Amino acid sequence: MTDIEPDCIDAQIHWYPVAASREVGEGRIMQSFLDGQELALWRSADGEAHAWENRCPHRGTRFSLGWVAADTLSCAYHGWRFGKDGACTYIPAKPNLSPPRSACAKTYAVREAGGLIWATLGDASWRGIGDVQMPNAFCRGFVVYRSPHATRSFLLDHFAAARAGGAVMEQRDESGTRRVLFLQPMSGERTVIYLWIDTEDEADSGARVEAMLRAARAFRELRTQLEASAHDAPAGSRR
């Protein structure tokens, strides 16, 4: 498998994961970041995931401080409510007023695939997660304090690229376990890596859990090497 755009990590023209699906439960608003853009992730009553700019258009309060009620998201500051399309549906201080069309949250395209929520900041068409076969066990997400480009460059010494845009990589470790990484470019100095593996037993067994813990420990060591590597000078440091 080859990556046709090996150096292109750009959320305006590619899709990237912004959270594990299980992290965004019903009624919850989760803060995330994609290529420097702060996002509010939430689910409407029908289970559909949404990704909005994490800023109410009224006073700029973070949506992630608010709450979800059925198919609307409410701002914590003045209680303005917004429907799934981002349009304001109700202003508590003026209940008889039809909200102006300009009172609209900025929304981004979202898809769910492989147990992850994906988003793009542009208008790129969704093309799926590539040819990679989805593993059956999600281990955990790792925050890496290196740029997305440096992170991807380092990981390509250990994993094979499996999707254009630099979001998916896979590899078999010494034991034969297939590991798949999904990269989320958070900002110029931070990247999230979601680690999945194939296990022989898909049930929630002790052997399965041990395999997941073993893979997470091994990748934690690789992350330490990555953050200490010299692919580029880090813009920030771990706090």
DSSP 140-167: EEEEESS-HHHHHHHHTTTSEE-STTS-
DSSP H helices in 70-116? none
Please give the residue that has the higher pLDDT: either 12 or 199. 12
pLDDT band of 5, cuts 50, 70, 90:
very low
By CB neighbour count within 10 A (0-12 exposed, 13-18 middle, 19+ buried), where does 97 fall? exposed
Distance between CA atoms of 45 and 72, rounded to whole angstroms?
Answer: 9
Inter-axis angle of helices 206-228 and 148-155, to 10 degrees? 110
Task: Report the pLDDT value the prediction gives residue 77, as an integer from 0 to 100.
Answer: 87
The two tokens of residue 206 are: 């002790």
Going from N- to C-terminal start, the domains of the chain cover: 16-120, 137-228
Q: Give Cα separations from 193 to 8, 81, 167 (angstroms).
A: 17, 33, 9
Architecture category of domain 137-228 in CATH: 2-Layer Sandwich (3.30)
Q: Positive or negative, the Cα torsion across 203, 206, 211, 213?
A: positive
Out of 62-71, 89-98, 136-145, 191-200, pick the least confident: 89-98
Q: Give Cα separations from 158 to 10, 88, 146, 169, 174 (angstroms).
A: 22, 47, 17, 9, 12
DSSP letters, 178-204, are: EEEEEEEE-SSS-EEEEEEE--S--SS
pLDDT of 232 higher than 50: no
SS3 category, 39: strand
pLDDT band of 164, cuts 50, 70, 90:
low
SS3 category, 19: strand
pLDDT digits (tens, 9 = 90+) for 26-66: 888 999 999 999 999 999 988 999 999 999 998 889 999 99
Output b/e per residue, 22-36; b: 16+ Cβ within 10 A: eebeeeebbebbbbe
Task: Report the pLDDT value the prediction gives residue 108, as an integer from 0 to 100.
Answer: 97
pLDDT of 6 higher than 60: no
Main-chain phi, psi angles of 160, to 5 degrees: -95, 135
Element (H, E) at 42: strand 37-43
pLDDT band of 1, cuts 50, 70, 90:
very low
137-228 matches 16-120 in CATH topology: no
State which fold the 16-120 domain adopts: Rieske Iron-sulfur Protein (2.102.10)
Tokens 């919850």 -> residue: 28
